[in-house]
Structure 1
Amino acid sequence: MSTKALILVGGGTRGTRFRPLSLDTPKVLFPVGGKPILSHAVDAVASLKDVKEVLLVGFYEDSVFSQFIADTNKQYPNLSIKYLREYKAMGTAGGLYHFRDVILKGNPSRFFVIHADVCCSFPLKEIEEFYEEKKAKYVILGTTVPASVANNFGAIVTDPETQRVIHYVEKPESHISNLINAGVYLFDQTIFDTIAAAKKVREEKAQDPSFVGEGDEDHLRLEQDILVQLPATDAFYAYETKDFWRQIKTAGSAVPANALYLQQAFQADPKQPGLQAPSANIVPPVYIDASAKVDSTAKLGPNVSIGPHAVIAAGARIKDSIVLDDVEVKHDAAVFHSILGRGCKIGSWARIEGSAIAPNDHSETLVKDGAKIQSVTILSSDVNVAEEVHVQNTIVLPHKDIKNDVVNEVIM
């Protein structure tokens, strides 16, 4: 049974909630857990023997993914990976329909559709087995979240005995279910019949002068326009994962996602390249790029990623943070619950800190004195923090010099 994999990567006009980190790196290429977000999904697909082709679908410039594709083709020579660029933002279903001939080339019996900004263990093999067991046409990955946040996602109602989906609502106004859409699907070719029917209805509505809605007839959303129709087919099932899951929507969400991926990697194989063995100054999981220089007296971890050519000086302390390329953290500086963008320089005895958020908490803001505040501190590229300066719960845009203490601010 031949299978393809499609990974939805979005585009430059999307992912604005990931700013300021997406100002110089597309969200799906931002490093989390020691490699680009997109790599985690590609690695999972590459482990499937029946998948020989991966199609990235989005509307970034072609050049954005050229290096990633070259590196991936080298890493997985038996896996073909290509980028399909939409000529405009067409929505998650519109893009699939636009490239249907490419997707159906070779007559695959089924194909995965994966949102690139999902952080999870990607149980793709289990989804395939579930799909075959249920003789399904469509399978959605589901996960259970607290009722307090369930309405922020697509709600799935299933038959508890068969796991067949009997109702689906995208971001309902009232609570329907704690089982939510986890952003991974396995479809057979008949999904294109459903998309074609939805497209026809949309085109007919657009001809009606009284119709009020998005004017683009080609723009179709998988979650709002297509999934809601699938329960009527009696062939739509939900596979529930009990493993970790979260979205990577905002810049701050990269920190808990980094923790989840590092913990997964360390549990699977603590001797993977880049992962550090426990010691007096290493609290696993910690990932350090081979080109980074870390003083033996610096203490790192848990949940820390250090990028290429970073320099961490004596006595520095880093915890629950992502440190990108060419960052310099000088002696005795402290970095907690933060992201340091490319080329940042942190002065000696400086303290960069956010507030702790649990990896399975689906919010990146805290409420303090009745107001929402940013939990993770984010320094964009080339930010310089002077010696002994304290930066807390703050976002700093690129190329700024921070010479005084700042708390709960956005530095433009």
Structure 2
Amino acid sequence: MLKAVILIGGPQKGTRFRPLSLDIPKPLFPVAGLPLIQHHIEACLAVKDLKEILLIGFYPPSQIEPFINDVQHYYSVNIRYLQEFTALGTAGSLYHFRDQIRFGNPHAFFVMNGDVCADFPLDDLYEFHKSKGDNALVTVMSTEATRQQSLNYGCLVTDKTTHEVSHYVEKPSSYVSTLISCGIYVFSMEIFQAIGEAFNVKQQEYYRNGNGNKAGYMQLEQEILAPLAGTGKIFTYQVSRWWSQLKTAGSAIYANRHYLQLYRNTHPERLAHLHASGDQNPHCHITPDVYIHPTAVIHPTAVLGPNVSIGPDVVIGPGVRVRESIILANAHIEDHSLILHSIIGRNSKVGKWARVEGTPSDPDPNKPFAKMENPVLFNNDGRLNPSITILGCYVSVKQETILLNSIVLPNKELSRSFKNEIIL
């Protein structure tokens, strides 16, 4: 028996994802038609003998449990949400809920960061972990980055023959290695002894010094993985498949593209082909890959794609062109508008002959590693310069206006054109 733990954080996290996370919890943001963590769940379903998935975070249950109740109806494994009483950190949350993880005596368990997007090779990861024998406490899924990119992630130094991790540094200040952690792990159950020892040390320091740090807060990377490096108990499984993190809205568009491409092999029925599926959209022109929710209404003269996701109850009018974008639920794109490299929030409206456009900031898609650019840059004069364009929920863009490289917070009505602005 196996289990999986998906760490989803809480509302205080994911601030770089705003304004999209102001009305939708970041783990439930739809990418390629599915909430982000539903991609994790579907990857877990493909693992033989995996019987339970635990979501751990500090979102209010009212924000997460409706999603769980929905997916539980058509997935065969048990899915539960465990709410932290406060932010405990990645290791602290595992230790706090150790009894729920160990219940049923699983042989091992996966841990997946909720903001990771990937073609999850969980079966291969687990088989590799088993091949390392009883001494292996943890196997870290890893991938190659550039020297500059590696400074933003956990870096691993490994033995090329045994794949044992000899050194681990989280977000180093100088170059360590181009091999980085993907935030996906498989743990043997004995890991709780190592976490417990670290927890006891931290408790003693807290009560001895009274330094104000939370006694139960522990980070998996710095306080567990780094000390285990070089002990013969931590290994890495390197992958060359697509992987990225959903830190910014720009990374959401990049992830949307790759999940749509994965659907070709895994779920071709989800993709809209030459014509959009359903009686409501009999002749819409599609340039693959495109996802269209069955309840969306698309005019026959609209042109969608490539790499477009259309959410529930979206209305797209005559002559509309949408490319490299995500249109969220209940949005209305009126006649002859153009949407490029943008995310249109829930219940937003783009008027006739309007142009909403961003600037792509992602890397060469043929590279295995996704460079995640911050969607807000600075000009030479210090002014903010967003890259992709984002409309929060309930935003109205008047007809015949142009919105370029801008971020618009919710509930705004734009009556003129904007460029390189953050509209508060």
The corresponding residue for 2:393 is 381
Please say if 1:80 is aligned against 2:92. no
C-alpha displacement at 1:204, in angstroms? 2.1
The corresponding residue for 2:233 is 235
2:266 pairs with 265, 268, 285, which one? 268
Structure 1 window deviating more from structure 2 (229-238 vs 286-295): it is: 229-238
C-alpha displacement at 1:14, in angstroms? 1.4
Contact 1:327–1:345 at 8 Å: present in 2 too?
yes
Paired letter, 2:173: E
C-alpha displacement at 1:339, in angstroms? 0.5
Contact 1:304–1:322 at 8 Å: present in 2 too?
yes
Structure 1 window deviating more from structure 2 (357-366 vs 302-311): it is: 357-366
Looking at structure 2, the residues matched to 232 and 207 of structure 1 have their Cα atoms a distance apart, in angstroms, of 30
The corresponding residue for 2:216 is 218
Please say if 1:362 is aligned against 2:372. yes
Please say if 1:297 is aligned against 2:301. yes
The corresponding residue for 1:51 is 50
SS at match of 2:229: helix
C-alpha displacement at 1:137, in angstroms? 2.4
2:413 pairs with 395, 398, 401, which one? 401
Looking at structure 1, the residues matched to 344 and 173 of structure 2 have their Cα atoms a distance apart, in angstroms, of 37
Contact 2:27–2:115 at 8 Å: present in 1 too?
yes
Contact 2:250–2:373 at 8 Å: present in 1 too?
no
SS at match of 2:286: coil
Paired letter, 1:9: I
The corresponding residue for 2:291 is 287
The superposition leaves residues 343-396 of structure 1 with CA deviations (integer Å, 9 ceiling, x where unpaired) of 111011100011012353321447675366321111000100011111111110
Looking at structure 1, the residues matched to 216 and 68 of structure 2 have their Cα atoms a distance apart, in angstroms, of 28
CA RMSD of aligned residues (A): 1.6
Looking at structure 2, the residues matched to 314 and 102 of structure 1 have their Cα atoms a distance apart, in angstroms, of 53
Looking at structure 2, the residues matched to 365 and 147 of structure 1 have their Cα atoms a distance apart, in angstroms, of 21
SS at match of 1:233: coil
C-alpha displacement at 1:134, in angstroms? 2.0
The corresponding residue for 1:21 is 20
Q: Judging changes above 3 Å, is the alpha-carbon distance between structure 1 residues 133 and 242 closer, same or farther for their aligned structure 2 residues?
A: same
Contact 1:33–1:305 at 8 Å: present in 2 too?
yes
1:1-400 → structure 2 map (5 Å cutoff): 2-76=1-75, 78-135=76-133, 136-209=136-209, 212=211, 215-270=213-268, 272-273=269-270, 275-278=271-274, 281-358=285-362, 360-365=370-375, 369-370=379-380, 373-400=385-412
The superposition leaves residues 139-193 of structure 1 with CA deviations (integer Å, 9 ceiling, x where unpaired) of 0010111111110000011101111111100000111111101010000111111
Contact 2:250–2:361 at 8 Å: present in 1 too?
no
Residues paired across the two proteins, number: 406
Looking at structure 2, the residues matched to 384 and 341 of structure 1 have their Cα atoms a distance apart, in angstroms, of 10
Q: Judging changes above 3 Å, is the alpha-carbon distance between structure 1 residues 10 and 368 closer, same or farther for their aligned structure 2 residues?
A: closer
Contact 1:374–1:394 at 8 Å: present in 2 too?
yes
Paired letter, 1:405: S
Structure 1 window deviating more from structure 2 (369-378 vs 112-121): it is: 369-378
The superposition leaves residues 31-51 of structure 1 with CA deviations (integer Å, 9 ceiling, x where unpaired) of 001100010000000111210
Structure 1 window deviating more from structure 2 (168-177 vs 132-141): it is: 132-141
Q: Judging changes above 3 Å, is the alpha-carbon distance between structure 1 residues 365 and 399 closer, same or farther for their aligned structure 2 residues?
A: closer
SS at match of 2:167: strand
Gaps of 5+ in 1: none
Contact 1:256–1:357 at 8 Å: present in 2 too?
no
Gaps of 5+ in 2: 276-283
Paired letter, 1:383: V
Q: What TM-score does the superposition give when structure 1 sets the normalisation length?
A: 0.95
SS at match of 2:73: helix
Looking at structure 1, the residues matched to 50 and 386 of structure 2 have their Cα atoms a distance apart, in angstroms, of 41
The superposition leaves residues 107-133 of structure 1 with CA deviations (integer Å, 9 ceiling, x where unpaired) of 111100111110001110010111112
Structure 1 window deviating more from structure 2 (112-121 vs 8-17): it is: 8-17
SS at match of 2:285: coil
Q: What TM-score does the superposition give when structure 2 sets the normalisation length?
A: 0.93
Looking at structure 2, the residues matched to 207 and 8 of structure 1 have their Cα atoms a distance apart, in angstroms, of 28
Looking at structure 2, the residues matched to 115 and 394 of structure 1 have their Cα atoms a distance apart, in angstroms, of 29
Contact 1:7–1:116 at 8 Å: present in 2 too?
yes
The superposition leaves residues 88-108 of structure 1 with CA deviations (integer Å, 9 ceiling, x where unpaired) of 111111111011111111111
